[in-house]
Amino acid sequence: MVKLVCQILLIILVLSSCSSDRRFKSNQRNSQNGVDSVVDLGVAYKLYHDSPDSSSLFFTLDSRTMLYTRASQSEPFCCKLKVDCELFDPKDRNQTIYRKTYLVEDVDSGRTAKRLTGHVKIPIQQGDWRLKITSTDVYRNSQRIHVLNASRNGKLQRQDLLFRNSEDKMLFNQFIPGGKMKIESKKYKGSVLKAACFNRNFAPAPPPFVSVTVLPFDHKPDTLLYVPIDKNGRGQLTLSPSGFTVLNVDTAMGTGLMLCNFQAGFPNFDSRDQLIDPLRYLCTKDEFKSLKDNPDHRAAFERFWIEKSSNKQRARTAIKYYFGRVVEANKRYTSYKEGWKTDRGMLQIILGEPTVRFRRDRTETWIYGDENNPFSMSYTFVKIPNRYSDNHFRLDRRSQYKTMWFQAVETWRAGRIYTFR
């Protein structure tokens, strides 16, 4: 099975970039009775404060998540995205002070996959605001709601900066590739930003029944860089290929804006070598060492799954779901380390989605099984104060988790997908 790894990488990229296949219909839908469905349209938004009294809302989406249709056989296929923006008063979150609707259309006779991008202006001034964005695929009659906390105050924050990669493509999240990166900031033009770089490689979370000793974090950066922002509000930063970086106007403040520059392609995977490390949850110590030491990672990866699964098709299915969960864990739970290495990421990968998930104060609880059922298994994560990330949670570890853990791991090792029932 020479092409297995390439096929799996392609599957992972497709799964992570869109939640539904691109579909074409010859006639428009005529449903006017509300929204037909709520689907992930794959729209990413980036709010950037580029002037004193207004901000730019940039968006991008994969065209494959949109429904393309045409009125007749002689016309080209097209899609239509409606973007409704509502800005709420910071003192009265129920009062809308600005609302506007934008339409984005794409005509595509060749039905080629591409990124649809654009931006709109929002009148955001000083203070803390709430921006509600409703994205609607008009022809599918489905929508997705995003809520952004728009803040303009004295602190350095992500909305004050715009990042582009070496190919001049805008970056819409905190996952920054290593290498040269362009920075734009109207607020900090003429200033010098400090970049504290931490080139750390953290170990994956141990099994949920294993008690751990938390070691103190060394806050001394491995590298300290100075990033001048010119009078036009532009600068450049070169990052190492792995780790995380904290930007600030004053390193003495300790906190700052965290940028994650982990593996290439993160939170996805773009090389066969990257597929080995997340197998640590399924391997014995000797098996994992053998995988890491093998100079041919592709062959070792294929052999591991085929031997466990007993046939190629089962191996393909197990790999697709396992690494789909790894990518999802990276998107949801990344803090100062990769999401798949965190306590929540570990359980997301091995056990799958909990039946019930809720937060109270500084805790997050996952329940596998019905709530208040004595046979259900409950996991509690405590939010830990962290100067670099507000997404750092630690599992309250217990010995009774051992049985469920080993049942799930053995299911995966047999080439089957574990989902709690």
pLDDT tens digit sequence for 214-229: 888 898 999 999 999 9
Lowest mean per-residue pLDDT among 222-226, 243-247, 251-255, 313-317? 251-255
**Which value, in Å, is the radius of gyration of the alpha carbons in the chain?**
23
Give the C-alpha distances (Å, rounded to integers) separating 225 from 173, 349, 365.
21, 36, 39
Number of domains in the chain: 3
Whole-angstrom distance, CA of residue 123 vs CA of residue 132? 14
Residues 200 and 87 in one domain: no
Whole-angstrom distance, CA of residue 183 vs CA of residue 233? 8
Residues 360 and 331 in one domain: yes
Q: How confident is the model at residue 6 (pLDDT cuts 50, 70, 90)?
A: low
266 has a pLDDT exceeding 60: yes
Q: Provide the CATH number for the domain around residue 88.
A: 2.60.40.10
pLDDT in tens, 358-375: 999 899 999 999 888 888
- Token pair of 354 as six digits: 């909990």
Q: How confident is the model at residue 41 (pLDDT cuts 50, 70, 90)?
A: low
Residues 304 and 250 in one domain: no
pLDDT value of position 90 = 72
pLDDT in tens, 284-338: 999 999 999 999 999 999 999 999 988 899 999 999 999 999 999 999 999 999 9
- Token pair of 314 as six digits: 């089962």
Domain membership of residue 134 as a residue range: 4-152
Q: How far is CA 149 from the centre of its chain?
A: 18
Domain end point (choices 93, 120, 152): 152
Q: Which residue has the higher pLDDT, 42 or 331?
A: 331
Average pLDDT, the chain: 86
**Are 179 and 238 within 8 A, CB to CB?**
yes
- Token pair of 407 as six digits: 């049942």
- Token pair of 288 as six digits: 């994992």
Residues 131 and 90 in one domain: yes
**Are 388 and 255 within 8 A, CB to CB?**
yes
Lowest mean per-residue pLDDT among 25-29, 78-82, 347-351? 25-29
Domain end point (choices 137, 152, 167): 152
Residues 118 and 217 in one domain: no
